Amino acid sequence: MTTLDPVRWLREFAALIDANAAALTELDSAIGDADHGSNMRRGTAAVVAALDESAPAETLKQAGMTLIRSVGGASGPLYGTFFLRFAAAVGAGELDAAVFAKGFRAGLDGVVARGKAEPGDKTMFDALAPAATALDESLAAGTDLPAALTAALAAAEAGRDATIPLQARKGRAAFLGERSIGHQDPGATSSVLLVRAARQALA
């Protein structure tokens, strides 16, 4: 049975953030304060620097704490909480399809508990939530982890793209009102990279 190594996941996430940092900041310059790429790059680089040989749940917990400490901005506590809740749901196990789906759902619930985002608020929730649903559906259908992550990635990308016509109701972009319409949400964009990193980490 395929399992995901969280160290590989976090390394891939950091690499994708690094490669896309300028694009993320560009998106945030349109509807925010032009720091999402630099925030996330600082945070994920700190996560990689702190990686050690811990068990999966401990690795993910450390990542969450490091993101909360080092990202700054709205996205730090939100991604940090995602990983802390994910870690708590993993227990002593490896990240197989069932554990990954359960962890991802717990992480999403943590993002909502912290940020109170609802569907269509034009946030990272709009990419993460469809991915969580795709993971749950894949699990129910008996799909293996690679195929589940491929489905989750497609769902996250569709959710990210669907943020473009939305008017932001959470975060800095909400201050723009109607002027936030027509722009892709930076956090939904980095959330796609989180899912893509998991898929790539299996390869």
Shortest distance, CB of residue 189 to Mg ion, whole angstroms? 12
Taking CB under 5 A as the criterion, which residues in 67-96 touch Mg ion? 73
Q: How many CB atoms lie within 10 A of CB 114?
A: 16
Among ligand ADP, Mg ion, none, what does residue 95 contact (CB within 5–8 Å per kind)? none
Cα–Cα dist 189/20, whole Å: 10
φ/ψ of residue 123, rounded to 5: -135, 180
Q: How far is CA 100 from CA 1, 35, 36, 178, 179, in A?
A: 13, 30, 26, 37, 37
Q: Does 157 bind Mg ion (CB under 5 A)?
A: no
Closer residue to ligand ADP in complex, CB, 118/144? 118
Binding mask 7-46 for ligand ADP (x = CB under 6 A): ---------------------x---xx-xx--x-------
Distance of CA 59 to the CA centre of its chain: 16
Binding mask 45-74 for ligand ADP (x = CB under 6 A): ----------------------------xx
Residue type, 115: G
Are residues 127 and 161 in contact, defined by beta-carbon separation less than 8 angstroms?
A: no
Closer residue to ligand ADP in complex, CB, 4/117? 117
Distance of CA 182 to the CA centre of its chain: 22
- Residues near ligand ADP (CB under 6 A) are 28, 32-33, 35-36, 39, 73-75, 78, 111, 115-117, 123-125, 170-172, 185-188
